[in-house]
Amino acid sequence: MQYTNDVEAVDALVKKYLLLKSEIAKVIVGQDEVVKNLLISIFCKGHCLLVGVPGLAKTLMVNTLSKALGLSYNRIQFTPDLMPSDIIGTEILDENRKFRFIKGPVFANIILADEINRTPPKTQSALLEAMQEKAVTVAGTNYRISEPFFVLATQNPIEQEGTYPLPEAQLDRFMFNIWLDYPSFEEEIQIVKATTTDKVANPEVVVTAEEILFFQNLIRKIPVPDNVFNYAVNLVTSTRPHTGKTGSWAREYLTWGAGPRASQYLILGAKCHAVLNGKYAPDIEDVKAVATSVLRHRIVRNYKAEAEGIKVEDIITHFLNLA
């Protein structure tokens, strides 16, 4: 891509974003905020945890996204008997009696880890290195995963029997925790009309892998005012119980607060949110726009909060009003 300056590159990203939304809307009805957050995380080199009941088109959404982005896509169905080698690959003895590595499904640009909490921690952790290092190690050999690389993990919030909740260390690897809600009545009418005929909508490729990598680097170059840095870090530190900046709500309702990675993702998310809304630098409103998705899985309520029916979102809203 040849752009004369960063302003021109930002304008190009906005155009590509609008085209992406248009192509995805050919298949996915509604869910505009979810699609926006997914695209923000991709342009920020982040991963997403998507939580929603069955039948809300989580798989279709990721598949459609990969087609519009022109990226390779693999779906891994997580089950109790899934092994790490089923994800990252394994070595086999070939006809020449030499070990050869057969790559697993993690070697793709977009990975759908479907119902990730249905598999034991040993298998869940097989994704950790890939998510953080963009590589896997097998028998002492390091294998790089081609970028862009994006993991979307899904969870079913209503069925917890026979599941293995993700540990906080692994949850922290996800940039966003996105909740999918039921469609509105009008949207569900459109969904039923579109999916009960023989017509199949196919999105066109809008962005190439090379362009995505360019835009990911562009987001990193967006300048951020000091007051936005201060707001983001102050918001995160206020969630930590038993520290100097903690408010009464954190001490009363939280067991654990967000770590420094939350501050990093708040700033990155705010940068991208600002750019996609036609701004050349983020402000505090951009931080607020991504705060719930960034903090939702990084703060842990205590028993009192659960007993009083105080949701994580209520606590985040309280901190947003205070910061």
Strand, coil or helix: 220: helix
> Which CATH number do you get for residue 263?
1.10.8.80
CA distance readout (Å), 108 to 12, 63, 74, 247, 305: 26, 13, 6, 44, 41
Provide the pLDDT for residue 146. 84
Provide the pLDDT for residue 92. 80
Dihedral sign for Cα 275, 277, 281, 284, please.
Answer: negative
Question: Does 295 share its domain with 186?
Answer: no
Residue 54: asked if its preceding bond is cis (omega within 30°), the reply is no
Question: Does 139 share its domain with 266?
Answer: no
Provide the pLDDT for residue 287. 92
| C-alpha closest to that of 114 among 62, 64, 71 | 62
Provide the pLDDT for residue 158. 63
Question: Does 189 share its domain with 241?
Answer: no
Provide the pLDDT for residue 53. 74
Q: Do the domain assignments include residue 146? A: yes
pLDDT in tens, 26-72: 777 777 888 888 889 989 988 888 887 777 677 788 888 888 888 88
pLDDT in tens, 185-224: 887 788 787 777 777 777 788 888 888 888 888 888 888 8
A 10 A CB-CB count for 18 gives 12
Residues of the chain short of pLDDT 50, as ranges, are none
To the question of pTM greater than 0.85 for the whole model, the response is: yes
Question: Does 192 share its domain with 227?
Answer: no
Which three-class secondary structure string do you get for 114-183?
Answer: ECHHHCCHHHHCHHHHHHHHCEEEECCEEEECCCCCEEEEEECCCCCCCCCCCCHHHHCCCCEEEECCCC
Strand, coil or helix: 206: coil
Question: Does 173 share its domain with 242?
Answer: no
Q: Do the domain assignments include residue 210? A: no
Provide the pLDDT for residue 271. 93
Q: In which domain, by residue range, is 83 found?
A: 6-196
Question: Does 180 share its domain with 237?
Answer: no
DSSP string, 43-71: HTT--EEEE--TTS-HHHHHHHHHHHHT-
Provide the pLDDT for residue 252. 78
Q: Do the domain assignments include residue 209? A: no
Question: Does 172 share its domain with 255?
Answer: no
